[in-house]
Structure formats: structure tokens, C-alpha cells
């Protein structure tokens, strides 16, 4: 049963579990369900109250591989998320307003290749599954201390409660308290280029298209990505050097209608500014192999390519497996290698998007000129902004 921290355990009490999962986002919720499915006594700790507002759609693309992992944890998860999400049927790419690639996918006859659903709604599905499984969940009590003990780890929270666990799966996000307490550093870089992301409420139909614009005429020649998901649209704009990204976000109601001319009225529900993060933890476990990092506690990836949450779900499932089978060092090595591969893919995507070298710009321009007669050129323009596909990178 999920309750608030004060109702579930008294302050200064001590609670024991085989696994303590820290963080109740999609990665932490998945880790708790995966550990429970393997018969491990599990406690899930979250710093936010259960009713805390979670702004924005955030991760909207749920890959087929992610749905398969969730189905193995709990058979109903994949089907419920799929039923609630949207599968868009068309992807298009334009260059300065002129089509260079267009593909319509047939309606899936069996398993869908992906689904698009706001992260909040994915979390709602996973939280209800944790409730139904009877996983002890403590809300509104942040982890403050981590101490290695014989045979495990002791966590102490802001309320003074101590949790003794054989292993800890840290899924507490980019500012992970567990990673910090374990003394593990994030390595990598952050791009100087800023992006503005805007959520627009609406109801895209099954024929909605994912559209990428190079040099969108209505956006002052900036690159723009439009992604439909169940309940709305995601608008992602690449800023230019010298742009005031926060001002651009604050004035979204003026320019977004030009990018979504078929959506009326345009109702903006969230705006945010981000930079491409390409960071990976120096280690995915501590020297004693008692703490395992997963999701954004382990790696920060840009939203282009939909690698963040999808790779985090794989982390979660594999972390629970490693604890159950005693293979934590292998988990740490394999998942860090996957994260590095994803960072490289993100770097390739960013390099293409920025096109800072003259040769890159000439190649893009040439591909756009011949795309009408050479479909391969259009496919390259369509695929290049997202880095290598899952055929070359494992989430």
C-alpha cells in the first residue's frame, strides 16, 4: 500500500528490505516492479509527495523494446500503456518548407512499434501497478545519508527513518542524492546550443505526422521538430547563437500558432528550455557493488532520439536482475557501455543539427536539392538528426 512517509513508518524507525529503490519516476517505478517480480522484498522511496504536480509531457516516446521489457515485468503494463498512447502513422521532413522525405506506415496488425504518451501518464500506470503489487512506497521523504554496512547499505531520510537494504537502486534523477553520497561523478559535456520545448494541448488523430523542419520559414529559419502524442503536441525548436531562449519560451503563444496552423485554438500547457546533455557516470556501481545507478542518475541524454527514459527502463530491469542473480559488476559494465554508445549517438545527432562546418552545410543543402529524385538523400536527412538507430545502438 502506498502512503506518505509519516503514515508508513515512524521517524527514527528502521526498515529492512532486500532492495531499496530511490526515485519514483518511470525508471524507479519499473525497478521496484522488476525487483518485486523476482521475489525481492522491495521498498520504494520518493522525495516528492505523491500528489506533487509533475509539469510537462517530458519523455513521450515509448519504444517497442521498452514495452517488451515492461510486459516481462508485469504482463498488463505494456498493453495498458499502448492502449492509452498514440501511434502516429506518418513521418515527414522538410527543408525550408519544401518536402524532402515522406513516409506513411501501414496500421500495425500486431504489436505496435512504439507509442507516444506523456511521461506523467506512464508514471500513473506504473504507480497503480506498484500499488496493486503491494510494494511499500514512501512519498515525501528524501534520502539524506548513505552508509555501507556489513552485507548491505543503510539509507537515512529527512524524516529520520533508516532503511537497511542489501542493495540500493538509485533512480533519483539528474541530481541524484544517492550518486552524490556514493561519491560517483558524472563525466561528459553540455552543449552551448539551447532548445525550447513547448507542449500544446490537443487531440492528434491516428493519422497525425511527426514532422521535422530544417530551416523552418515560420521559425526564422530555425530547425523545428513536431511530435504528436496522446493529448497534445510537442514543439521543439533549436535556438540560434545569440537567441534569448527563455524569452523565446515566454513568448511561445506568439509563434507556436505559425508552426501548428491546423491546430486551433493553440493552448500552451508547458514550456521549457534545455541543452544537449551528454554525461555518463564514471561508474554504475560503488566499489562494494551494493549501489546500482539507473536512468538519469547514471546518464544524461538529450531528448532527441528518445534514448533517455527508454534506456532507463532497460537499466531498471537489468538492475533488478543483477541484484537477484548476483551479477552487479556485469550490469555496471554492460549498462555503462550502452550509455556511452547512446552518448555517441546523441553527439552525432547534435553535430548534424548544428552543422557548424561548411562541409556539413553543403552536404545537407545538396541532399535537399536531390531528395526529390534520390530517396536515399531524403531518408538521410530524415534520420540523421536522431543519431544511429536501434540497429546500431542498444537502449
Per-residue model confidence (pLDDT) at position 100 = 97
The rounded Cα 29 to chain-centroid distance in angstroms is 13
Give 46-84 pLDDT, tens digit per residue.
999 999 988 888 889 999 999 999 999 998 999 999 999
DSSP E strands: which ranges in the chain? 2-4, 14-22, 42-46, 61-63, 90-95, 98-104, 114-116, 136-139, 143-149, 152-157, 162-170, 186-201, 209-216, 222-229, 232-238, 267-281, 291-293, 299-300
* C-alpha span between 72 and 58 (Å, rounded): 24
Q: What is the mean pLDDT of residues 349-370?
A: 92
Partners of residue 222 on adjacent β-strands: 216
Q: What is the mean pLDDT of residues 371-383?
A: 93
pLDDT at 393 exceeding the cut of 80? no
What would the grid cell of residue 189 be?
559535456
Domains along the chain?
A: 2-58+119-188+278-346 (3.50.50.60), 85-109+191-276 (3.30.9.10)
Q: What is the mean pLDDT of residues 270-276?
A: 93
Residue 235: which pLDDT band, with cuts at 50, 70 and 90? very high
Give 113-155 pLDDT, tens digit per residue.
999 999 999 999 999 999 999 999 999 999 999 999 999 999 9
* C-alpha span between 77 and 71 (Å, rounded): 6
Per-residue model confidence (pLDDT) at position 333 = 98
Give 183-209 pLDDT, tens digit per residue.
999 999 988 899 999 999 988 866 789
DSSP E strands: which ranges in 202-243? 209-216, 222-229, 232-238
User: In what helix (H) or strand (E) does residue 316 lie, and over which residues does it extend?
Assistant: helix 308-325
Q: Are 272 and 249 in contact (CB under 8 A)?
A: yes
Amino acid at each position: 500500500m502506498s502512503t506518505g512517509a509519516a503514515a508508513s513508518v515512524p521517524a527514527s524507525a528502521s526498515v529492512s528490505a532486500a532492495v531499496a529503490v530511490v526515485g519514483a519516476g518511470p525508471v524507479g517505478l519499473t525497478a521496484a516492479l522488476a525487483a518485486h517480480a523476482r521475489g525481492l522484498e522491495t521498498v520504494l522511496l520518493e522525495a516528492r509527495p505523491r500528489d506533487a504536480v509533475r509539469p510537462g509531457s517530458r519523455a513521450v516516446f515509448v519504444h517497442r523494446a521498452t514495452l517488451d521489457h515492461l510486459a516481462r515485468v508485469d504482463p498488463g503494463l505494456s498493453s495498458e500503456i499502448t492502449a492509452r498512447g498514440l501511434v502516429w502513422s506518418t513521418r515527414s521532413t522538410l527543408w525550408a518548407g519544401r518536402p524532402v522525405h515522406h513516409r506513411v506506415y501501414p496500421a500495425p496488425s500486431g504489436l505496435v512499434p512504439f507509442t507516444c504518451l506523456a511521461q506523467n501518464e506512464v508514471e500513473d500506470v506504473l504507480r497503480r501497478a506498484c500499488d496493486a503489487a503491494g510494494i511499500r512506497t514512501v512519498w515525501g521523504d528524501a534520502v539524506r545519508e548513505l552508509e555501507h554496512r556489513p552485507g548491505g547499505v543503510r539509507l537515512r531520510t529527512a524524516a529520520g527513518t533508516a532503511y537497511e537494504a542489501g542493495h540500493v537502486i538509485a533512480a533519483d534523477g539528474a541530481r541524484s542524492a544517492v550518486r552524490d553520497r556514493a561519491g560517483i561523478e558524472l563525466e561528459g559535456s553540455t552543449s552551448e546550443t539551447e532548445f525550447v520545448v513547448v507542449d500544446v494541448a490537443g487531440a492528434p488523430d491516428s493519422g497525425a505526422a511527426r514532422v521535422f523542419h530544417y530551416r523552418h520559414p515560420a521559425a526564422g529559419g530555425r530547425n523545428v521538430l513536431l511530435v504528436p502524442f496522446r493529448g497534445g503536441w510537442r514543439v521543439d525548436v533549436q535556438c540560434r547563437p545569440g537567441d534569448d531562449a527563455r524569452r523565446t519560451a515566454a513568448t511561445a503563444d506568439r509563434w507556436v500558432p505559425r508552426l501548428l496552423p491546423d491546430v486551433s485554438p493553440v493552448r500552451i500547457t508547458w514550456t521549457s528550455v534545455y541543452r544537449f546533455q551528454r554525461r555518463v557516470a564514471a561508474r554504475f556501481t560503488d566499489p562494494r557493488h551494493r549501489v546500482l545507478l539507473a536512468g538519469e542518475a547514471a546518464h544524461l541524454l538529450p531528448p532527441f532520439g528518445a534514448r533517455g527514459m527508454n534506456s532507463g527502463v532497460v537499466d531498471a530491469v537489468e538492475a533488478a536482475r543483477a541484484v537477484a542473480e548476483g551479477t552487479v559488476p556485469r550490469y555496471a559494465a554492460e549498462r555503462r557501455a550502452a550509455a556511452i554508445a547512446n552518448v555517441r549517438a546523441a553527439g552525432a545527432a547534435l553535430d548534424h543539427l548544428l552543422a557548424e562546418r561548411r562541409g556539413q552545410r553543403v552536404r545537407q543543402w545538396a541532399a535537399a536539392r536531390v531528395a526529390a529524385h534520390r530517396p536515399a538523400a531524403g531518408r538521410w536527412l530524415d534520420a540523421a538528426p536522431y543519431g544511429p538507430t536501434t540497429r546500431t545502438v542498444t537502449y
